[in-house]
Amino acid sequence: MKRLSLDELAQLVSLPPRTVRYYIQRGLVSRPHGERRGAWYDQSHLDQLLQIRRWTEAGLSLERIAELLGGGALDVPEAPRRAGQVSVWSRVYLGPGLELHLDPHEAGLSPEQVRALVAAVMEELAALRRE
């Protein structure tokens, strides 16, 4: 890959140059090759910034990203929910006055497991009504 200026690198990752400089200052991205106006960036810098963007889009804080880049455990926890965050919930109609609301992703359930859960709830509901 050719040598990239700060502006070229920032444009490739859709970040302002100021943010790239901040990531370098925080130690999240390697320092450029050369100094001052002669400084340049390469593919490794681009890869680092793309990884950081993936993690920030997944909701990780810069502190957590620094831990991961420093060799921290790769078990990336889900970010806590915050006001304004969009999530998709499933609503299962069980009968008059009864609905099951769940977020399969947050619950860690596959579509097959959701179907099994609904079947089990329907069976239990039928048993309760027979009593």
Q: What is the mean pLDDT of the chain?
A: 84
- For domain 6-69, which CATH number applies: 3.90.1150.10, 3.30.1330.20, 1.10.1660.10, 3.30.420.40? 1.10.1660.10
3-state secondary structure 61-124: CHHHHHHHHCCCCCCCCCCCCCCCCCCCCEEEEEECCEEEEECHHHHCCCHHHHHHHHHHHHHH
Domain positions in the chain are 6-69, 90-130
Mean pLDDT of 62-78: 71
Q: What is the pLDDT of residue 34?
A: 86
pLDDT of 74 over the 60 cut: no
pLDDT in tens, 35-56: 887 889 998 899 899 889 888 8
Q: What is the pLDDT of residue 123?
A: 94
Q: What is the pLDDT of residue 60?
A: 84
Q: What is the pLDDT of residue 86?
A: 65
pLDDT of 73 over the 70 cut: no
More confident residue, 55 or 70: 55
Could you tell me how many helices (H) and strands (E) the chain has, helices first?
Answer: 6, 2
pLDDT of 67 over the 90 cut: no
